[in-house]
A and B are shown apart, each in its own frame.
Chain A
Amino acid sequence: MKNIEIAPISRIEGHGKITVQLDDSGNVSDAHFHVMEIRGFEKFLEGAAVEEAPRITPRICGVCQTAHHLAAAKATDQVFGLEPPETAKKLRELLLLGQYVHSHALHFYILAGPDLVMGPESDPALRNVVGIYKSNPEIATMAIKTRKIGQEITATVGGKPISPVTAIPGGQSRGLSSDQQADLLAKAKNAIGLVEKGFEVAKPLFTKYAEEIELLGPVESHFAALTKNNGDITYYDGDVKVIDSTGNMVHEFEPENYLDYIEEKVQPWSYMKFPYLKQIGFPDGSYRVGPMARLNVINNIPTEKASEMFAEYKENFGLAQNPLLYHYARLIELMYASERAVQLLEDDSITGTDIRQPLTEQLMTKEEAKESSETRRGVGIIEATRGTLIHDYETDGAGFIKRANLIVSTGQNNLAIDQGVRETAKKMIHGEEVSEGLKNQLEMIVRAYDVCLSCATHAIDGSTSMELDIYDSNGELIKRQLL
């Protein structure tokens, strides 16, 4: 028996590995996708004042920090019983759209694009953004310009391009001036043109790689996404809708009831858990989230160009199951995000100054909270670029976190990724000689989901100490020495 390892999986966010086990005749007996890291946010948020969660949790992921910022902020609104004013909700949605433009452009052009632009089996030294810059500078420039607009929206609305800070319980800490509105409107309009050009380059690739689309990682699963107004695409708010692999609705539920519908399983070979639909069970309740899942769940995109792209996509692929179509769906969403940003920025109410409902009730002190059995809770669900993101906080009466539960986008695709890698490895690998190009095609399955492995894991293990700690006679640590 021989093992093939692909590590680290590259051009993804975080640390992952693929292992493939061969039997004596050289056929694949098993294969897995492993997540190799874990940091522990769920635990170490405990004890923090819950209003700090929106500025601690963006550090879960440096790519989709805005998504964590906003899911946490929505949860804190609920903890304190606050309703953000309309302008604040629009600002938050705009902030999230900035995230979409940055993240989808990053993923398509810089992380996954090189496989399609340079070829899945091309020279690995050149199969990256630098290679694209040197061979196709116009594509690289388009990538840089598109993503920059996303970061500019985030920086203006969120205060910073990475790990924004303006979403606070009850609303936003800073509004948008008319000058900023005009500046961002021009940029968002520019983004539409850039995405159109990008799509012209990208669309033929889905014909060129039709065989790979069929071959790499196909699985059948349920799909989940937020929707509103009977099937519109939505990122910031809405209810969770779940469909089965043929498109029939299975569940529709409000965010705070997620525990009735979603459960997570632990496997000994990965730090990332495996969420599944609780009422269907494991593993049949496997479901996917993210761009392709969203376009399967929703019926309508209410902007002009993206809805045209959506209609053509539906015509060609129906209820899409093949992970490489996540890329296509991502481009449609990149267009929607740009168009929707223009819609929001053309509406002058975005510069409104009523942006926060302040807390008027007197909070308990920490001491009072210790004596009291009162608890508070807030659940924030949004559509992150990679899919449905759940932040759930339970606090004491004073609003200090007692328990945090985070179900992140990538986790919900874990079962499908693992299964897709295994089935594809079985089809493609025969014998110990496995080319770099073939290994890269297995990585392409993982990449298609735009996985975010830093997000996916929130605990730490300290079972094996590598350090010698020296304490003084008062029990205070005075030195940590590495063994």
Chain B
Amino acid sequence: MVNIAIETLASCDGCEISILDLHEDITKLFDNADIVSAPVIMDIKEIPENIDIGIVTGSVRNKENKERLETIRKNSKILIAYGTCACYGGITGMADLYTPEDVMSRSYTDNPSTEPAELPNQVVPELLSIVHPAADFTKIDGFIPGCPPKEQLTHDILIPLINDEAPNVPKKTVCADCQNQMEHVEFDKIKRRIEGEPEPGKCFLSQGYVCLGSVTLGRCGGLCTSAGVPCHGCGGPSLDVLREPSHDIYNGVIKRIAHLSKMPEKDVEKQMYDIGHLIYGFVIGSTTMEEKQVSLIPQLVKK
């Protein structure tokens, strides 16, 4: 039997729920593997030794996250970063858009429903100054981005892994899975999502809405775009963006909109709003994305 441990760092626990979303198939996991530790569902408090497959979810936000990440690394033969937070810092990384002081005061001292008070500083773990993905601190053997990873993907990866087989994972973008029709339409205005009514079945970019489908790893089947909502990039950057030093989420989207609309790239850039939340929302904490020469993340992060 293969030993599996799941450790949750700073996260929403949606990744753990996505594993439970194997539904009936989770019994394959229970039958073929021993889950030796997973605080979300079981009472083993210390991370045990001799873990075959360690799975870490969430980003590294505080000292305790970092310590537990280091322990599960030390005790695991294979360590997998599961979910966009563990891979790229995830939505928690949006905190890097503000200084820690501003962020703290919004909750505890400058808040409409809160009596201002001293910041919590006893018993609670100290936070790091910025949000980190797991790979900033330890070697990671495999990355499974997704917010959270789709249950089918989890099935197609975890089940072979526990049987010591190589998983076969899709490598295409969200665009490749999206059923909406992309077309060249000349326009000169980027729309916010609140403006107008998107036409069903038609590509969001072709209608002037910001959609990250073309620069996002698509293992979701284009669920959001088929539900009438543009891609938000929760699956993390596409393999093209990751591999090419000059490819970035921002310039990829700008180029694509310019290409479809015949707007000059400069005009697209001028109209692009709220790059922090809209373009880099899931990857602000990512060192890989930040270190790209063309990345705008260094300009967005406040210290």
Complex Cα gap A440–B66 (Å): 26
Complex Cα gap A55–B277 (Å): 11
Report if B194 contacts A (CB, 8 A).
yes
Complex: chain A residue closest to B24, CB-CB: A144
Q: Is the CB of B107 within 8 A of A462?
A: no
Complex Cα gap A174–B197 (Å): 12
Complex: chain B residue closest to A167, CB-CB: B229
**In the complex, what's the smallest C-beta–C-beta distance from B14 to chain A, in angstroms?**
2
Report if A430 contacts B (CB, 8 A).
no
Binds A, one of B93-101, B236-244, B258-266: B93-101
Q: Is the CB of B229 within 8 A of A11?
A: no
Report if B21 contacts A (CB, 8 A).
yes
Complex Cα gap A119–B22 (Å): 27
Q: Is the CB of A265 within 8 A of B115?
A: yes
Residue of A140, A262, A271 touching B124 (CB-CB under 8 A): A271
Q: Is the CB of A270 within 8 A of B151?
A: no
Report if A363 contacts B (CB, 8 A).
yes
Residue of A32, A166, A363, A458 touching B192 (CB-CB under 8 A): A363
Report if B35 contacts A (CB, 8 A).
yes
User: A residues within 8 A CB of B118?
Assistant: 266, 268
**In the complex, what's the smallest C-beta–C-beta distance from B297 to chain A, in angstroms?**
9
Q: Is the CB of A159 within 8 A of B278?
A: no
User: B residues within 8 A CB of A51?
Assistant: 192-194
Report if B120 contacts A (CB, 8 A).
yes
Complex: chain A residue closest to B117, CB-CB: A266
Binds A, one of B37-45, B158-166, B168-176, B177-185: B37-45
Q: Is the CB of B41 within 8 A of A173?
A: no
Residue of B14, B43, B192 with highest tally of chain A CB at under 10 A: B43
Q: Is the CB of B42 within 8 A of A130?
A: yes
Q: How many chain B residues have a CB neighbour from A under 8 Å?
A: 99
User: B residues within 8 A CB of A36?
Assistant: 62, 64, 123-125
Q: Is the CB of A269 within 8 A of B13?
A: no
Q: Is the CB of A13 within 8 A of B13?
A: yes
Complex Cα gap A137–B42 (Å): 17
Residue of B17, B66, B95, B220 touching A40 (CB-CB under 8 A): B95
User: A residues within 8 A CB of B23?
Assistant: 144-145, 147-148, 151
Residue of A39, A161, A169, A366 touching B92 (CB-CB under 8 A): A39
Bits for B144-168, please: 1 = Cβ < 8 Å to A, else 0: 0001100100000000000000000
- Of residues 44 through 95 on chain B, the ones whose CB sits less than 8 Å from some CB of chain A are 44-45, 61-64, 66, 90-92, 94-95
Q: How many chain A residues have a CB neighbour from B under 8 Å?
A: 110
Q: Is the CB of A458 within 8 A of B42?
A: no
Q: Is the CB of B45 within 8 A of A7?
A: yes
Report if A399 contacts B (CB, 8 A).
yes
Q: Is the CB of A39 within 8 A of B106?
A: no
Q: Is the CB of A359 within 8 A of B195?
A: yes
- Of residues 133 through 160 on chain A, the ones whose CB sits less than 8 Å from some CB of chain B are 133-134, 140-141, 144-145, 147-148, 151, 158-160
User: B residues within 8 A CB of A463?
Assistant: 100, 104, 119, 126-127
Report if B15 contacts A (CB, 8 A).
yes
Residue of A42, A59, A65, A110 touching B111 (CB-CB under 8 A): A42
Residue of B11, B198, B224 touching A159 (CB-CB under 8 A): B224
Report if A264 contacts B (CB, 8 A).
yes
With A55-B232, A161-B21, A467-B130 in contact, do A268 and B120 touch (Cβ < 8 Å)? yes
Report if A426 contacts B (CB, 8 A).
no
User: A residues within 8 A CB of B196?
Assistant: 358
Q: Is the CB of B303 within 8 A of A469?
A: yes
Residue of B124, B198, B227 touching A166 (CB-CB under 8 A): B227
User: A residues within 8 A CB of B11?
Assistant: 62, 454
With A62-B14, A363-B192, A482-B137 in contact, do A263 and B113 touch (Cβ < 8 Å)? yes
Report if A124 contacts B (CB, 8 A).
yes
Q: Is the CB of B273 within 8 A of A366?
A: yes
User: B residues within 8 A CB of A49?
Assistant: 192-194, 273-274, 277-278
Q: Is the CB of B120 within 8 A of A405?
A: no
Q: Is the CB of B43 within 8 A of A160?
A: no
Complex Cα gap A477–B277 (Å): 20
**In the complex, what's the smallest C-beta–C-beta distance from A126 to chain B, in angstroms?**
9
Report if A228 contacts B (CB, 8 A).
no
User: A residues within 8 A CB of B21?
Assistant: 151, 161-162
**In the complex, what's the smallest C-beta–C-beta distance from B225 to chain A, in angstroms?**
9
Bits for A438-482, please: 1 = Cβ < 8 Å to B, else 0: 001000000000000010011111111111010000001110101
Pairs across A and B, CB under 8 Å, 24 listed:
A11-B40, A39-B10, A43-B95, A44-B95, A47-B277, A52-B274, A56-B91, A60-B12, A61-B12, A62-B12, A62-B148, A80-B194, A127-B42, A129-B42, A159-B226, A162-B18, A163-B234, A166-B227, A166-B229, A268-B117, A405-B111, A440-B43, A461-B119, A462-B130
Report the 7 A-B pairs with minimum CB-CB distance, sorted nearest first. Answer: A62-B14, A462-B100, A159-B227, A459-B107, A173-B228, A266-B117, A62-B12
Extra pairs beyond A34-B124, A44-B97 (6, CB < 8 Å):
A52-B193, A62-B13, A62-B18, A147-B20, A263-B113, A454-B13
